[in-house]
Structure 1
């Protein structure tokens, strides 16, 4: 029987800083059974929509429901892939174009498991979590709701 992992809060207010990402990577140097890491970084794009340029996205979530669903996804991924660890961080609040809003970090003894697990986690987050992004335009009089 597989060990159950505890529910983790994946949400953080504001953008995910490069120093946070670097620190997360550095903390794994003592885990010498790891041979591979895979990282996905989601960054806010300065898209143009109807002639308006996106300056930021405001992320909101049904946090309790999202954390419950994320826990189920984590358990399924740990069961499917031979991972050493998995870390997921998703921004809430206003994230400016160019800033990081999603950080998924998987580690395993071998690269295939880390790569495939990271990809599946990202796809499932996008498809299954109740998280929304509202585009904020340079001309703030126009706002459109979009899914993350």
Structure 2
């Protein structure tokens, strides 16, 4: 790793919609940006074996996850001409309907922002040591499998 400070991507609990709106709003003064791409992951109320998911409790091996994210970030900036790249992921309990992942990329043109955003989401799911425990309405639980 470089001497550059590793940015903490983790948020305690849900990602507030006001935070998302504020993040978008802050970029309006950056007039060299022509395209943004946003991905927001939301906890679904899946039905599994007749039971409904009420929440997901996220845990992570934080130090390793942040190191991996730092590398992903460096790879993405090397591959795409981005102006900005922001990633926020929940830890702890997030209820159905709430946002648990927010990825926001910006560039002079739309295609790099869209492609980078998509690649980041796929790499996060595949490479970061983050786990989700599905909590059902009856308070039983199981570990979630990423698809």
Q: TM-score, normalised by structure 1?
A: 0.95
2:51 is aligned to 52
Residues paired across the two proteins, number: 145
Deviations 1:76-100 (A, max 9, x none): 0000000001000000000000000
Deviation at 1:106, TM superposition (A): 0.1
Deviations 1:41-83 (A, max 9, x none): 0000000111110000000000000000000000000000000
Deviation at 1:147, TM superposition (A): 3.7
Runs (4+) off by over 3 Å: 3-6
Counterpart CA distance in 2 for 1:25 and 1:61 is 27
Whether 1:95 and 2:77 are equivalent positions in the alignment is no
Deviations 1:84-126 (A, max 9, x none): 0100000000000000000000000000000000000000000
2:77 is aligned to 78
1:143 is aligned to 141
Structure 2 spans left out of the alignment, 5+ residues: none
SS at 2:33 equivalent = coil
SS at 1:53 equivalent = strand
Structure 1 spans left out of the alignment, 5+ residues: none
